[in-house]
Amino acid sequence: MNDFTLYTPTQVVFGRDTAAQTGALVARFGGTKALVHYGGGSAVRSGLLDRVTASLDAAGIAHVSLGGVVPNPHLSLVREAVSLARREGCDFILAVGGGSVIDSAKAVAYALAYDGDVWDFYCGKARPAKAVPAGCVLTLAATGSEMSDSSVITNDEKPEWEKRGCNSDVCRLRFAVMDPSLTLTLPAWQTASGCADILSHTLERYFSGPETVEPTDSLAEALLRSVMDAARVLAKKPDDYEARATVMWAGSLSHNGLTGCGHGVPGGKVGDWACHQLEHELSGMFDVTHGAGLAALYGAWARYVMDADYARFARLARKVLGVVEADDKKAAEAGVERYEAFLKEIGMPTSLRALGLELSDAQLDALAFNCSFKGTRTIGSFKKLDRSDMRNIYANAR
């Protein structure tokens, strides 16, 4: 087990009708005036936003609101929110929505505690030292942003729309209100994409390298099995509260750091993240749903890297995917087939074509060019991948 740190300070309030506790939670964590940040109209139409602001009123918390956060949230809206929050003297950022809204709120929280340009944190020019307190009312189980140290923002002010992430414990939310019943009516596509994203967050850490780490690996395998079982239930019965609750809670645990403890570089990077980075370019260029993009790329990535350590893939196959096969290479291959069969079962694509993308050779080149930062970086830790590897994986995923 490698040395690690874990910081999960987020107060989790999980269950039915928990949105009513939002105001009291903002007060508990020192907020007096909140910027309520949200996305499209669904939080308004469902009445959730009204319930949240009523809860703020009841707790004596003043508030202003700014909606309009889109999937792959934009830097320009972050700037607008920062201006509003500064003008109005907000001391707490409250995200009401899914991962995009929370990521945008984290960027706003960074910016309010920084004199420079918040993009500095995303382009790697500076590290955030602090942030204004933030919390969320979660409406979607997918990104795990409600407990993670991660925020991903798309710079829509640049012609190439760069999508970049910033990871720091500084932005961990003070609280996360999670009511699975808010997700009961989510469309099947969004539900399955969320499950694929959650599974990927665990898999990325699982494939930090060839090493085994207990109890971390066993916990990861338990989460994978639970999410796969629940995803299968939801494909048939979308309003199953237990399955919704399983997915929502597993989503937080899959990305709060728990499944990486003892893996990776001490004090440094934990997880492989090649699939995520390959997908970021894809969704940056084509605006595909993140989880579906991950699903489309996984098989091509796994088959391309598994020769670095068949035993690791074989363990996953046996412990999670029901493979009974003594030979590691065969078990590893069978495991990828089983996982792809599962993805299809819940309606996810396992190729770019199934995702609706017919990519030209020039487009593959462009994806690999961008993902490799013009050929200047490698990605992955289970197996290091350079620009030509990236192109091969994109091509194999066609």
Determine which residue in the list 19, 90, 153, 253 makes contact with a copy of itself, applying CB under 8 A: 253
Q: Which of residues 155-194 bind a copy of itself (CB under 8 A)?
A: 180
Q: Cα–chain-centroid distance for residue 212?
A: 24
222 in contact with a copy of itself (CB under 8 A): yes
Q: Does 32 bind a copy of itself (CB under 8 A)?
A: no
* Binding of a copy of itself by 134 (CB under 8 A): no
Residue 185: closest CA among 241, 239, 249: 239
Give the footprint of a copy of itself on residues 272-311 (CB under 8 A). none
Taking alpha carbons only, the member of 112, 132, 136, 172 closest to residue 36 is: 136
Helix (H) or strand (E) segment spanning residue 234: helix 216-236
Is residue 6 part of the contact set for a copy of itself (CB under 8 A)?
yes
Span interacting with a copy of itself, options 78-86, 259-267, 271-279, 326-334, rule CB under 8 A: 259-267
Cα-based angle 8, 10, 16 (whole degrees, multiple of 5):
130
1 binds a copy of itself (CB under 8 A): yes
Does residue 149 interact with a copy of itself by CB under 8 A? no
Q: Whose CA is closest to 292, among 304, 275, 306, 305? A: 275
Contact between 4 and a copy of itself per CB under 8 A = yes
* Residues in CB range of 392: below 8 A, 6 or more apart: 304
Q: Does the protein bind a copy of itself through residue 375 (CB under 8 A)?
A: no
Least CB distance to a copy of itself at residue 12 (A): 4
Instruction: Choose between 202 and 289: whose C-beta lies nearer to a copy of itself.
Output: 202
Instruction: List the one residue from 91, 149, 221, 333 that touches a copy of itself (CB under 8 A).
Output: 221
**62-66 vs 33-38, strand pairing mode:** parallel
Task: Select from 213-221, 334-342, 346-354, 387-395 the region that touches a copy of itself (CB under 8 A).
Answer: 213-221
CA distances for 55 relative to 11, 49, 188, 224, angstroms: 17, 10, 30, 35
What is the DSSP track for 210-223?
Answer: S---TTHHHHHHHH
Q: Is 229 a binder of a copy of itself (CB under 8 A)? A: yes
The answer to whether 159 and 315 are in contact (CB under 8 A) is no
Interface stretch with a copy of itself, choices 12-20, 78-86, 350-358, 366-374 (CB under 8 A): 12-20
Q: Which residues pair with 64 in a beta bridge?
A: 35
Does position 323 interact with a copy of itself (CB under 8 A)? The reply is no
Question: Is 141 within 8 Å of 241 (Cβ atoms)?
Answer: no
Contact between residue 285 and residue 367 where contact means Cβ atoms under 8 Å apart: yes
Instruction: Specify the length of the chain in residues.
Output: 398
Question: Which among 9-17, 31-39, 62-70, 105-113 is the span making contact with a copy of itself, rule CB under 8 A?
Answer: 9-17
The CA distance from 208 to 264, in Å, is 6
- Minimum CB separation of residue 229 from a copy of itself in Å reads 7
Tell whether residue 266 is a contact of a copy of itself (CB under 8 A).
yes
- How far is 149 from 110, CA to CA, in rounded Å? 12
The distance of closest approach from Cβ of residue 46 to a copy of itself in the complex, given in angstroms and rounded to an integer, is: 20
Q: Is residue 269 involved in binding a copy of itself (CB under 8 A)?
A: no
Residues 6+ apart with CB under 8 A from 397: 296, 297, 299, 300, 301, 351, 352
Kindly state the smallest distance separating residue 324's Cβ from a copy of itself, in Å: 15
Rule CB under 8 A: is residue 242 a binding residue for a copy of itself?
yes
Q: Among the candidate windows 111-119, 211-219, 273-281, 294-302, which touches a copy of itself by CB under 8 A?
A: 211-219
Q: Could you tell me how many residues of this chain bind a copy of itself (CB under 8 A)?
A: 40
Distance from chain centroid for Cα 356: 22
Task: Please report whether residue 22 would count as binding a copy of itself according to CB under 8 A.
Answer: no
Buried-state track 293-307, b at ≥16 Cβ within 10 A, e below 16? bbbbbbbbbbbbbbe
By CB under 8 A, which span of 4-12, 75-83, 344-352, 386-394 interacts with a copy of itself?
4-12
Q: Does 261 help bind a copy of itself (rule: CB under 8 A)?
A: yes
Residues binding a copy of itself (CB under 8 A): 1-9, 11-16, 18, 180, 214-216, 218-219, 221-223, 225-227, 229-230, 241-242, 245-246, 249-250, 253, 261-262, 266
